[in-house]
Chains A and B, each alone.
Chain A
C-alpha cells in the first residue's frame, strides 16, 4: 500500500463518519418500499440521500490519503469535561419529576460546575442558589411554565 497512507487523520475520520451514517440509513431504509421515480415510496429519497452521503464520505476519505493532503492528526477529547456536562443534563432529565425543579436544578448546576478547572464548592453552591431563585422568578412565576417545582412525594 505504498503512497496510500492516511495523511489527514481528521478528514479520514470525518469521511468515515459520513460512511457509517450512510450505511446505517441505507440499511434501515431497505425496510421501506422504494417505489419508482414517478411514484416514490417512503424509501426512495432516504436511499438516494444515503448513496450521496456515502459517495461524499468516500471522496473525503480518499482525499485524506492523497500525497498532497495536509498532515492533520485527530484532536484529543476532554472526556472528563464531556462526562460532567452530558451527565449533568441526563441527571436533570432523570431527577426533574422525582425531585422537582429545585432539586434537579441544584444537581444540574453543581454537577456541571465540576467540569470547570476552577471549581470550588462555595462558588458552585452560591451560583446554584442565585440561579434557582432566578429560574423560579422568571420561568415559574413570570412566564408560568408548567414545571414541577417540588418533589412529587410532597404533592
Chain B
C-alpha cells in the first residue's frame, strides 16, 4: 500500500533525533502557552517564526505544528482545573470540565480530555495521510479560475465563522487584501502603496502585523481587565475513569473525532468551531441533556476530541491546496515561505520527506503530549500562579526580539508598534482581526489568479462561472452568504459563537 509506504517515510523522518527533539520542544511550548491565558498559539508561532530561520525546514514545521496542537492540550487543563480557558478552543470544556473538578473529579476530567485528544489525534493523522493523495490530485487539475474561486470560498467561510457581524468580517478580509497589495506588483514590477519606503518594497510582512495585533494590543487589553485568578487548589487524585465513565465517553469521543476531522478540513474551520459543534451535538444526542453544565463527561470527551482532530486536519487544505483555513495555518504559510517551500499540491511531490514527516510527527507529538500532560498536571497548574505583571513583559521581550530578527532591522519593530495601536482600535471596535490576517496572506494569490483567469478569458468575468468547479465553489460561497443573512440562522450563529 502506498499509504503505508508514505507513512514509513514519514516516521523515518519524524524519528530522527533532531526532529524528535523539536517535536518535543514544540509540544512542551504549546502546552505551556495553552496553559497560560493571554498568550495563544498565534502569538507564539508569530514570535518563533523568525527564529526558525536557523532550523532545517522539517524541524521548523514540526516544532510549529507541535505548538498548535500542544496548545489544545494545555488549554483544556486550565479550563478544567481553574475554569479558565487557556485557548478559545477549550471554552466549552470549562462548562462541564470545571463542574467535574468541583465534584472532585478533576483527575477523571483531565484523563478524559487527554485520552480523547490522543485518540482524535491518531485518527486525524490517518485522515490527513489518506486524504492528502486524492486532494492533491484534485488540486493539480485546478487552474487560475478554480484557485480564485476556492480562495474566495475559504475567505467567505472564515468570515461566516468569525465572531461578530458577518459583513464586518468580510470588510476585514477586504482590508487585509488591500494591505497585501503593498509592495512590488509582480506583473508590472511597479511599486504600489510603498510611498518610497524601501522596506515596504517587499510587501507588508505579516509577522509585525500579527505581533502588533495579537501580541502587543492584546496585552493592553488584558491589562485593562484586572481579573484575579481564584485557583481551586485541590489535590488532583484518581486519574482513572470508571467503567461507567468509559461507557459514556467512548461514543462521545468517536462522534467528536468524526466531527472535528470533517470541520477541520473545511476552510474557515479548525479547532474552535469543532469544539463548539461537538458540544452542541452531544447535548442534542444525550438521553440526559439536563446533566450538561453539571459535569457531564460527554461534554468534556466530545469537544476535547473534536478540537484536537480539527486542529490537525486543518493542515489538509494547507498542505494539499495551499489554502490556509485559519489564521494559525496562515502563519504556517509564512513559516514555509521562509524556507522557500510554497504550500500547495507540489509540496507532496517535491518535498515528500517534509510532507510525510510532518504528518507522522503529529502522531509522535500526540503520544508525547499524553505522557507530558497527565503526570505533570500539577506543574502546569502551578504556572498559573505567575502574576500577569511578570508574564506580560516576557511576552513583550520575546515579541520584540522576534520582530527584530525578521530582517535584523528595527523597521519591523516600529511597524509592530503601529499595528499595536491599530489592533487596539480593532479590539475597541470589536472588529475581528483573524479575517484581516487571512486576507493579508491570501491577497497576493487571489490577485494573481484573478488576473491570470481574466487574461485567459480575455476579460470576460462570466468565465468564472462556466468552469464547473469554480462555479460550484462560488455557488457554495453564495449559499453561505445567503444562509448567514437568514434571520433564524443568524440568531443561532450568534448564540453559538458567543463566548
Q: Which residues of A contact B (CB under 8 A)?
A: 10-11, 13-15, 17-18, 21, 25, 28-29, 32, 36-42, 44-46, 49-50, 52-53, 56-57, 59-60, 63, 74-75, 77-78, 81-82, 85-86, 88-90, 92-94, 96-97, 105, 108-109, 112-113, 115-119, 123-124, 127-128, 131, 135, 139, 143-147
Contact = CB atoms under 8 A, between A and B. Distances in A.
A46 B181 contact: yes
23 contacts: A17-B425, A17-B429, A21-B175, A21-B178, A46-B178, A46-B192, A60-B171, A78-B220, A81-B224, A82-B421, A88-B396, A89-B413, A93-B417, A96-B404, A105-B397, A108-B397, A109-B393, A113-B393, A115-B219, A123-B390, A145-B401, A147-B401, A147-B405
Interface residues of B, number: 61
Contacts of B461: 37
Main SS of chain B's interface residues?
A: helix
B417 A90 contact: yes
Contacts of B143: none
A29 B457 CA distance: 25
Contact of B216 (A89, A135, A145): A89
B414 interface: yes
A63 B220 CA distance: 30
A44 B187 CA distance: 12
B168 A11 contact: yes
Given A42-B187, A89-B416, A116 B392 contact: yes
Contacts of A93: 404, 410, 413-414, 417
A18 B175 contact: yes
Contact of A118 (B171, B387, B428, B455): B387
Given A37-B454, A60-B171, A32 B417 contact: no
Contacts, number: 178
Identify the 10 closest CB pairs spanning chains A and B, nearest first. A38-B459, A37-B459, A93-B413, A42-B185, A93-B410, A116-B389, A56-B171, A89-B417, A53-B174, A109-B393
Most buried by A among B51, B216, B223, B408: B223
B355 interface: no
Contacts of A18: 171, 175
B285 interface: no
Contact of A115 (B185, B220, B387): B220
A103 to B, nearest CB: 13
B401 A131 contact: no
B167 interface: yes
B192 A38 contact: no
B37 interface: no
Contacts of B117: none
